[in-house]
Structure 1
Amino acid sequence: MFRADKGLAFLLRYENVAWYEDGKVRILDRRIYPLKIKFVECKNHVEVSKALKDMVTQSGGPYIAVNMGMVLAVYEAVNLPDDEYIKYINDAANTLCHSRPTTVANMLKAVDRCHKTALEVINNRENAVQLVLEAAIDEANKKYQRYEKVAQYLYSKIPKNGTIMTQCFGETVIGMLMRLCKENDNNIKVICAETRPYFQGARLTASVVKDMGIDVTVITDNMPGYVMKLKNVDLFTSAADAITMDGHVINKIGTFQMALAAHYWGIPYFTTGIPNKKHSDISSVKIEERDADFVTQAMGVKTTMEGVKGFYPSFDITPPKLISGIVTDKGIYSPYNLNKYYE
């Protein structure tokens, strides 16, 4: 079977994101990678949903995990009577897609094909699990191929041997972008903000870039404004957890302040992702607040006195006036004209 993850870093290969096998889904625990390589084993789709809520996988990982969760749901329900099977599959899709409040609309879109396939195989129970698994792998391939196109458009904005700064973990786009740089002998430098409190930039982005042989440096989250100028950054880029049709980017907390700094220095900020029709404007987005205790520690080490409070909004909102372009699989669009993407 064709695999669009060929040649990418360890972290981006399907089996190392989320994978169904023998009645279980294994999800690489990105909360501790690369210090430890550990997989969380889910024995039912509810455990997959909990793993998503608990941030076992992040960035693009949930979109593969949610489909592997649907495969597992079919495995769980395969012997149920027809009416119970249909209800079980529908309930499972709903549970998986609502694992995280901010990305429900994207999750519903991501799981749509596997959900439909799971219902269509009701009269082919013997092959049901395999058919839904094949649909899940095919969806992963399509996702990777789509983001390979995104990476190609983003690559066109990077000067030869230039320097880029990233926020959080742009997942497949980062891997595809690094592959393009290697293929074209473009010796770029990458500067990653660490992205507290989960350190996705330090642990995930930097690991992928290093794994693919590209020069990479990690900075703390309070350094970007100064470092952009000092290190002659040519471009700032991030992915997006959601892009509204009125041009707002919802992404990992810290993106807004980095966009402000880039705007001040005249450095372009390109967001990668697909505008979401279900988010007609910013009022449709709910910003998720997570466990405040994560702010008072770093990778499990307490950093504050007992009784000190934390506050942890997972995402922030970057307005269109700070965004140079939305980089999609169809080209680069102005944040003020995202309807054009769907024309």
Structure 2
Amino acid sequence: MDLPILADSVRLADDGVHILDRRVFPARREWVRCATVEEVATAIEDMVTQSSGPYFAALWAMVLAAREAEHEPEPLAYLERAGERLIATRRTNNHLRKAVHAVLSTVDENDLVGSALAGARAGDERYRSRSRALGAFTADLLPANSSVLTHCWADLYLVELVAAARRAGKTLAFHCTETRPYLQGARLTAETLAELGVETTLITDGTGAAVLAAGRVDTLVTAADRVTMDGHVVNKIGTLGLAVAAHAYDVPFLAMVQAPDRLAPTAADVPIEYRAGAEVLTAAGVVHPGIRGHYPAFDVTPPRFVTTVVTDRGAFDPHALAGYYEEEP
């Protein structure tokens, strides 16, 4: 299966990090060149890339930081500050922290750029291999001819799920919510599934419960930006409503994440990002000064509405996630 373009949308080059601008995709395929760490951080904040995109952007940005640090009196301190800046761009998803750690943990001051590049490449391959395992475990849980409801853009998790299902001889069809206000489901998920040749139906965000009630889907499957050790699923705003509706209509909800976060014992340990309310108004074309916008970027689904958390080590009951780390070699 050929990979879709969004599976390789952040690239390192001699002149900087090149990021496919997801804000205008698929209408236009434009690449934003970031010559410095600060430009990468700003691109992440401005939603040039989302989902796993910031992870890869942070990996390659740390290589840029190593290039910059060669000219600094305290190169390791410079790298640490660069990492802190990148982590601060999006607080809810812990991918950025992992990307920065992947590079900082391998940096050798005697070969700053070379060691940073090796760490970034290892982090890239690790993320992709874990996504493949996650996709395979999720595919195992789906019926042979399955209709799936998904929300937002699950990125490599979704691509690897489709690939694994095909290897297993399973046929999947998807209903995708449009995912307001950035329309990641309409512009990224639906476009990529169609690119992969998967039967795809796009629905408005408000249609999810009706689709579940009508029995049009077998399973609700989403990615998770973070899963706490007590089983709370943190994901794009709107996931909670779909999970509650799925629970009401006895449709299983599978949340895909590479690993639960040991640094987040409970939902209270996950900072929820609130973006400017103007982003909601701008997307709607509303400009009246008397109208305010409210935009939490993520919501939290309690474990009672989650059937299974699927990880790169298999499927777990949301109340038994400690078992993930008991399997460590």
Under a length normalisation based on structure 2, what TM-score does the superposition of the two structures give?
0.94
3-state SS of the aligned residue for 2:171? coil
- 1:215 equivalent among 184, 194, 199: 199
Partner Cα separation in structure 1 for residue 239 and residue 78 of structure 2: 39
- 2:308 equivalent among 325, 329, 338: 325
For 2:99, the equivalent position in structure 1 comes to: 110
In structure 1, runs of 5+ residues without a counterpart are 1-5
Cα deviation 1:180-232 (Å, max 9, x = unaligned): 23334422210101111111111111122111111111100000000123352
CA contact (8 A) 1:30 1:58 kept: yes
For 1:289, the equivalent position in structure 2 comes to: 274
In structure 2, runs of 5+ residues without a counterpart are none
3-state SS of the aligned residue for 2:234? strand
CA shift for structure 1 position 130: 4.0
Paired letter, 1:291: A
CA shift for structure 1 position 129: 2.6
Give runs of aligned pairs for residues 1-343 of structure 1, distance below 5 A: 7-13=2-8, 16=9, 18-81=10-73, 84-103=74-93, 105-118=94-107, 120=108, 122-124=109-111, 128-230=112-214, 232-273=216-257, 274-298=259-283, 302-303=285-286, 305-343=288-326
Cα deviation 1:253-274 (Å, max 9, x = unaligned): 0000000110011000010011
CA contact (8 A) 2:52 2:95 kept: no
CA contact (8 A) 1:209 1:215 kept: yes
3-state SS of the aligned residue for 1:142? helix
Partner Cα separation in structure 2 for residue 8 and residue 55 of structure 1: 22
3-state SS of the aligned residue for 1:159? coil
The number of equivalent residue pairs is: 325
Under a length normalisation based on structure 1, what TM-score does the superposition of the two structures give?
0.91
Paired letter, 2:80: N
CA contact (8 A) 1:20 1:133 kept: no
CA shift for structure 1 position 306: 4.2
Identical aligned pairs, as a percentage? 36
RMSD after superposition? 1.6
CA shift for structure 1 position 21: 1.0
CA contact (8 A) 1:150 1:330 kept: yes
Partner Cα separation in structure 2 for residue 199 and residue 53 of structure 1: 17
Paired letter, 2:42: K
Partner Cα separation in structure 1 for residue 287 and residue 254 of structure 2: 36
Partner Cα separation in structure 2 for residue 129 and residue 245 of structure 1: 36
3-state SS of the aligned residue for 2:105? helix
For 1:3, the equivalent position in structure 2 comes to: none
